[in-house]
Amino acid sequence: MLHFQLLGTRGSRPILDQNYVYFGGNTTAYKIWAEGNFPIYIDGGSGLFREGSRLQPEVKEFSFLLTHSHWDHILAFPFFAPFYRPETCARFWGSRSFKETFEELFKHQFQTDAFPVNYAEIPATITFTTIVGGQSFEIPPPPRFTQENCLSNTHHSYHISTYQINHPGLDLGYRIEHKGKTIVILTDLAPIKNNYLGPGMEDFGAVDEDRYYEGLIAFCRDADLLLHDTHFNEESIRGKERWGHSTEIMAVKLALESQVKQLILGHHAPEDNDQCIFRKLHNAQKYCQKTALNVIIPQEDEIITIS
């Protein structure tokens, strides 16, 4: 059994308005955990702030996967309360940016010009591992979790695969597997057709385009749950194909081609109110109504369980 919680549902920037209450206004952060196992957090958008403030101090160990370092995915890290406790141990896995490692970018968030607390003053122990697209690895339980629960590492490890996706900057998709259950996270990504955005994509040709998309289908293949960027809809993407985001129909097509069981439409534009998002959901459900695919848009903080 795997649980998936949407701590933040938005892209770009947070929003608070009476027409945004149903789906919420915090930016991207997700939490995944198997029953009785330690959680993995994906990204640190503003949705992570509330999680940090409500966790009991007894929760001391954290594991983070970072998709990419755009502001909407990292802005809550300096405000994450557990980093200000000396007992906290946090492990990060993330890709390089254009020039630097995520570790260097993370520390820049705590520079005097940007934030009043310097990184050297953070009492938590934080470690960083740089990964690249295509890499697979295990996330073993944090040491204290294994000791306190008298468990073996292998029983509770998560298996992670990565895929570099088409977005300005280096952006990784994550496939998270545990005991036969699979969740895939694809945020943020743009249509690939004649539209190559990230480093390493400069020399793309039509052959590579097909190879990239076939690789993406294989990456999502048979997942129980796919979270897919749908910042745009079929109208709002016009003229913005190079902004690095997808529509609900692109998400449904990939989910169908990959034979995914359940699709979550995520990373909503801050311009889209609840009514717009319901319309996006309706369009997606209509497009795949004769198939077995289940398309949903959970509310902020909602927990989806895969059993």
Residue numbers of the site for Zn ion (CB under 5 A)?
11, 70, 72, 188
From the CB of 11, what's the least distance to Zn ion, in Å? Answer: 4
Contacts of 56 (CB under 8 A, 6+ apart): none
CB neighbourhood size of 53 (10 A) = 11
From the CB of 14, what's the least distance to Zn ion, in Å? Answer: 12
From the CB of 121, what's the least distance to Zn ion, in Å? Answer: 29
Compute and round to an integer the Cα radius of gyration of the chain.
19
CA dist., res. 108 & res. 131, Å (int) = 19
Output the six-digit token pair for 87. 């007992």
Of 178 and 231, CB closest to Zn ion: 231
CB neighbourhood size of 174 (10 A) = 25
Of 52 and 266, CB closest to Zn ion: 266
From the CB of 231, what's the least distance to Zn ion, in Å? Answer: 7
Residue nearest Zn ion, Cβ-based: 70
Of 109 and 125, CB closest to Zn ion: 109
Pick from 147, 77, 65, 149: nearest CA to 106: 77
Of 11 and 141, CB closest to Zn ion: 11
Of 293 and 297, CB closest to Zn ion: 297
CA dist., res. 106 & res. 278, Å (int) = 35
From the CB of 39, what's the least distance to Zn ion, in Å? Answer: 21
